Amino acid sequence: MKIIFFGSGGDLSSSLSNQGFEIEELPTSRDVYAPPADLILDADLLVITDTSDPTGILLCRELNPDIKTIVYSQDELSDFLRPQIDFALDPQLFPPNLVAEEISNLFS
């Protein structure tokens, strides 16, 4: 399973990688605006850790309407972004190892 992170994945991406998931991080806004189409088309999950600019997220949803999206951030979600998100988690409430375990259970 391929997971794309918009923003730094930190401990969550490390935990998922250790569980055998293929991880790709797009840490900068420039990367978000021009993600390779094949990367998006092959992805199963988009994890958003930086919600400051929703444009790249919308582009991903347009390229791959079936991609699941999770926000893993304390940031407030804009009204513009909310309809594009399947699930949102606050890192203060859900530690990376717990989120990685649940993602693994969902997609195994």
Q: Specify the residue for token string 């900068």.
A: 28
pLDDT digits (tens, 9 = 90+) for 52-70: 877 778 888 888 999 999 9
Distance CA 59, CA 106 (A): 25
Residue 38: the pLDDT is: 78
CB 42 within 8 A of CB 2: yes
Q: How many domains does the chain have?
A: 1
| pLDDT at residue 32 greater than cutoff 60 | no
CB 60 within 8 A of CB 67: yes
Give residue 55's domain range: 2-107
Distance CA 59, CA 33 (A): 8
CB 75 within 8 A of CB 94: no
Tokens matching residue 79: 């009204």
Q: If pLDDT is split at 50, 70 and 90, which confidence band does 20 have?
A: very high
The CATH number of residue 56's host domain is: 3.40.50.2300
Length of the chain in residues, anyone?
Answer: 108
